[in-house]
């Protein structure tokens, strides 16, 4: 072969060798070798592990998402997804719990609304809350249907009765026993007379505080003439005694009570002559609890199915009165009458307890 051609071949070989040499900083035009691949991996690892303070990288890849304090969280990572789900679930549960607790707390704070007073058989209901004090109101107002308001007869000289309020309970107060003030009207042809006449059951309901009584018999609630004990009357002639009279002068019930130690109480007198046992035909409850029946030489139990009698006589009228007799007065007790009601039926023990619980807390109009 001619020498010039050999020289050209030698030069070409040198050029090819120079192009494959990596140490000059020239990138090889051929496929990467194992040495250059290892070098690239090392650079990536070094950059990733040392660049901890660099801003978060947007390039994805296993090294970038698992190393470095600024690496972004991969939302597809199983552990991260589990944590996020758990956190969300816990947060939702906590919010629900807080709402439930708040509602429960609110209910406990405000309390469930009380049931209403029993209206079954209701004839009259007097809350006696028309004033906070003094002798201003003209009537004790009836809250029952077809109201029977009672005119107030004030004894202004002895200042009785007077409206008074004690511990947020309003009522009519008599400062001494045997005074004349009262709430009263003739009972003839009123709903009290027409609804109770010939009935075999009735309930008297009072909230009262008795401090002293007259030996002649202080009336708490009275239907009758002035010279009679009463046709439907709760009265007391001693601080340890309560009596129920009906039909004029018939003592139908008597109980031992310590008025001086009772304070303000809810009193129920239940008349139910349909009961087979005579001792159960007239019953007394204090704050919803039955009181043991007492004995007296003048006590006469009603006959079975014996009816109430409230006669009408225009010449000798009967009166319906609170806190006293009707026409003549002078049979008040010393203390406060907070509430009074009459029913034309015998309330059950459940109803008595319900009303007692309500009235113990509030005896004024809702």
> Is the model's pLDDT at 97 over the cut of 50?
no
Q: Report whether pLDDT(311) > 80.
A: yes
Q: Which of 362, 333, 343 has the alpha carbon at shortest distance from 205?
A: 343
Question: Which pLDDT does position 314 carry in this prediction?
Answer: 80
Pick the more confident residue, 76 or 229.
229
**Over residues 222-236, mean pLDDT:** 94
Q: CA-to-CA distance for 184 and 182, rounded, in angstroms?
A: 6
> Strands (DSSP E) along the chain, which ranges?
122-126, 139-140, 150-153, 162-166, 169-174, 182-186, 201-212, 218-224, 230-238, 241-248, 250-256, 265-272, 282-286, 289-290, 319-322, 334-343
Question: In the predicted model, what is the mean pLDDT of residues 350-360?
Answer: 97
Is it the case that residue 69 has pLDDT exceeding 60?
Answer: no
Q: What is the pLDDT of residue 328?
A: 87
Averaged confidence pLDDT in the chain: 78
Percentage of residues in the chain with pLDDT exceeding 90? 64
pLDDT bucket at 316, cuts 50 / 70 / 90: confident
CB of 306 closer than 8 Å to CB of 200:
yes
Alpha carbons 109 and 20: distance in angstroms, whole number: 88
**Mean pLDDT to the nearest integer, 348-359:** 98
Does the pLDDT of residue 52 top 70, yes or no?
A: no
In this prediction, residues 281-310 reach a mean pLDDT of 96
**DSSP 8-class letter at 127:** -
Q: What is the mean pLDDT of residues 193-222?
A: 97
DSSP states along 304-347: TTPPP-----TTS--EEEESS-SSS---PPEEEEEEEEEESS--
The whole-number average pLDDT for the span 210-216 is 97
Which pLDDT score, from 0 to 100, does residue 244 have? 98
Residues facing 285 on adjacent strands: 268, 290
166-176 pLDDT per residue, tens? 999 999 999 99
8-state DSSP, 136: -
Residue 205 has pLDDT above 90, yes or no: yes
Which pLDDT score is estimated for 214? Answer: 96
Alpha-carbon distances, residue 290 vs 41, 60, 189, 267, 268 (angstroms): 96, 84, 33, 10, 9
pLDDT at 318: 94
Question: How many CB atoms sit inside 10 A of residue 64's CB?
Answer: 19
Q: pLDDT value at position 111?
A: 61
For the chain, the straight-line distance linking the first and the last C-alpha, in angstroms and rounded, comes to 130
What average pLDDT score do residues 357-366 get? Answer: 96
| Least confident interval from 54-58, 230-234, 283-287, 361-365 | 54-58
Gap between the Cα atoms of 247 and 311, Å rounded: 9
What is the pLDDT at residue 229?
Answer: 94
Q: What is the band of 113 on the pLDDT scale with cuts at 50, 70, 90?
A: confident
Query: How confident is the model over 321-344, as a mean pLDDT?
Result: 96
pLDDT tens by residue, 11-31: 444 444 444 444 433 333 444
- Describe the strand order of the beta sheet including 218-224 as a list of residue ranges: 139-140, 150-153, 182-186, 319-322, 218-224, 230-238, 241-248, 250-256
Q: How far apart are CA 197 and CA 231, in angstroms?
A: 11
Cβ contacts of 162 within 8 Å, gap of 6 or more: 133, 134, 135, 172, 173, 175
Q: Is residue 164's pLDDT more than 90?
A: yes
**Amino acid 103: pLDDT:** 29
């Amino acid at each position: 072969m001619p020498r010039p051609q050999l020289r050209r071949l030698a030069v070409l070989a040198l050029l090819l060798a120079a192009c494959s040499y990596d140490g000059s900083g020239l990138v090889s035009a051929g496929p990467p070798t194992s040495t250059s691949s290892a070098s690239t991996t090392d650079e990536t690892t070094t950059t990733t592990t040392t660049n901890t303070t660099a801003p978060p990288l947007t390039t994805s890849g296993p090294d970038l998402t698992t190393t470095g304090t600024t690496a972004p969280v991969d939302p597809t990572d199983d552990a991260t997804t589990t944590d996020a789900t758990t956190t969300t679930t816990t947060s939702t549960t906590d919010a629900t719990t807080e709402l439930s607790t708040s509602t429960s707390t609110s209910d406990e704070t405000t309390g469930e609304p009380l049931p209403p007073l029993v209206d079954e058989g209701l004839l009259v209901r007097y809350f006696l809350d028309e004033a906070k004090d003094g002798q201003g109101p003209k009537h004790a107002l009836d809250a029952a249907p077809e109201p029977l308001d009672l005119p107030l007869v004030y004894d202004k000289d002895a200042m009785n009765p007077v409206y008074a309020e004690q511990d947020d309970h309003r009522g009519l107060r008599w400062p001494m026993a045997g005074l004349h003030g009262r709430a009263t009207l003739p009972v003839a042809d009123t709903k009290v007379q027409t609804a109770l006449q010939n009935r075999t059951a009735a309930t008297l309901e009072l909230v009262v505080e008795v401090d002293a009584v007259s030996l002649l018999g202080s009336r708490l609630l009275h239907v009758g003439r002035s010279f009679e004990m009463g046709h439907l009357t709760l009265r007391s002639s001693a601080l340890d005694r309560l009596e129920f009279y009906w039909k004029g002068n018939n003592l139908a019930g008597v109980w031992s009570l310590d008025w001086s130690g009772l304070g303000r109480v809810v009193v129920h007198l239940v008349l139910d002559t349909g009961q087979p046992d005579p001792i159960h035909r007239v019953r007394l409850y204090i704050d919803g609890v039955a009181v043991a029946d007492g004995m007296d030489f003048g006590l006469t139990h009603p006959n079975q199915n014996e009816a109430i009698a409230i006669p009408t006589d225009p010449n000798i009228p009967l009166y319906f009165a609170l806190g006293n007799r009707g026409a003549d007065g002078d049979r008040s007790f010393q203390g406060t009458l907070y509430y009074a009601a009459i029913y034309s039926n015998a309330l059950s023990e459940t109803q008595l307890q319900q009303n007692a619980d309500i009235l113990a807390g509030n005896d004024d109009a809702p």
